[in-house]
Amino acid sequence: MTTPRFSRTEIVDTASLAAATETVSKHHSIRQPVVIVGTGLLGTSIGLGLRAAGIEVLLSDPSPSAQAVAEDIGAGRGLSDADQPGTVVVAAPPDVTGEEVIQALQRWPEAIVLDIASVKTAIAREVDRAVETGRISAEDTLRYIGTHPMAGRERSGPVAARGELFTAAPWVLCIHSETPRHVIHVASDVARLLGATIYHMSPEEHDAAVAQISHVPQIAASLLASRLQGTSAQALQLAGNGLRDTTRIAASDPSLWVQILTANAEQILPELHGMKADLDRLINTLSNPTASGARLDVAQLMDEGNRGQARIPGKHGGPAQGFAVVTVLVDDTPGAIVSALQAVADAGVNVEDLRMEHSSGYQVGMLEISVVPGHKKHLVDSLTDLGWKVL
């Protein structure tokens, strides 16, 4: 099959998000009822979001307890043998998604089937093999479309589900030239109804992209965090936001990442080889740090990192922009952060980003407020005049 080049097909900005969702909820092509296969965080969140928009949702999960929780919180009702869904959303773990897609195509010959797994090429190949072995027909595959909503939480399971989870989140649709328009419309309307931002990519383009922006960062964070296993408790008391930021995703579910990394190994390996080359280069340089050119080489490596980081889109997906940071000392008491932010608002300055850092052993926090550089002096002066300690 030939595949289209990457294209962004729609962005729903937050200002028009509610109106867009309301419009789609009244005018959509989703065939009902929708059955969701898998009631984890994402599947249950999809059920909650669709039901809130008036869509009839059925639930199916091999775990009776997980399904029962999803039903209890209002994500849908249990699937029965008599039900004939018009749309199937496979929200199963990546290592069984392909088989679930194939079974759905077999069981419901009129239904449109989409999956939401975080890898796409391996699943597409599994579906193709099912055609080769005669389990399904080539015509059946025209009812299938691979998708990937790039949203989640650090908590898992149906109890952590939220109907608003996908609001403004990227949702990739992997479309082939043979994919019928009505199938694309159904998948698009599911994403739109949930408030997502839609992108079109081929399975290969998707997997290459997530290898760079999701899978390799996970590996880097996990490898870095693994070095802390033997670190003394005293040393860890010195840790600041730099370490926390770079290791936060290392707390992810190991069993899920085993599935993701093995399924996308083909795209991940070139990135790891590139990182290894850079690491080998740095090791070689630091082995003789006073040699001629050594300091320049280290500076070049750091500069390459600066240039890569600067390419990450900034606020609202626009070009990256360097913001000025104003650090305000706040007491560790209820309402202190609210009061500080109200003071910023009273100064007429918009908060572009926000983070909080605590110093171990002190009942204070450092509120780092990112603002447009031209507003920094005005904000510092305003906060100082109001009695806030600006660092």
Q: What is the CATH number of the domain that holds 228?
A: 1.10.3660.10
Do 173 and 217 belong to one domain?
Answer: no
d(CA 166, CA 287): 47
pLDDT at 359: 61
Task: Please state whether the peptide bond connecting residue 94 to the residue before it is cis, i.e. omega within 30 degrees of 0.
Answer: no
Specify whether 268 is located in the same domain as 374: no
Which of 14-28, 203-217, 236-250 has the lowest average pLDDT?
14-28
Q: How does pLDDT run across 129-173, given as a tens digit for each residue?
A: 999 999 999 999 999 999 999 998 767 889 999 999 999 999 999
Read off the pLDDT band of 84 (50, 70, 90): very high
Q: Are residues 143 and 229 in the same domain?
A: no
Domain limit, last residue, from 174, 201, 228: 201
Please tell me the least confidently modeled range out of 16-20, 32-36, 311-315. Answer: 16-20
316 domain-assigned: no
Whether 42 and 153 map to the same domain: the answer is yes
pLDDT given at position 4: 36
Query: Is residue 313 in a domain?
Result: no
Contact 383, 390 (CB under 8 A): yes
The SS3 assignment for 49 reads helix
For residue 235, pLDDT over 90 is answered with: yes
Tell which residue, 70, 72, 73, 65, has the closest CA to residue 89: 70
Quickly count: other Cβ atoms within 10 Å of residue 247's Cβ: 19
- Could you tell me the two tokens for 82? 């008599």
How far apart (Å, rounded) are the C-alpha atoms in residues 187 and 142? 13
Mark which of 233, 261, 287 sits at the end of a domain: 287
Distance between CA 179 and CA 138 in Å, rounded?
12
Spell out the alpha helix ranges (H) of the chain: 17-26, 41-52, 64-72, 94-107, 121-132, 138-141, 181-193, 203-210, 216-226, 233-236, 241-247, 254-263, 265-286, 294-310, 336-346, 376-385
pLDDT single digits (tens) 35-66:
999 999 999 999 999 999 999 999 999 999 99
- Work out how many domains the chain is built from and give that number: 3
Is the predicted pLDDT of residue 19 greater than 90, yes or no? no
Q: CB-side exposure of 363: number of CA atoms within 13 Å?
A: 5
Residue 2 covered by a domain: no
User: Which domain does 98 fall in, by range?
Assistant: 7-201
Return the structure tokens found at 49.
């979001």
306 occurs within a structural domain: no
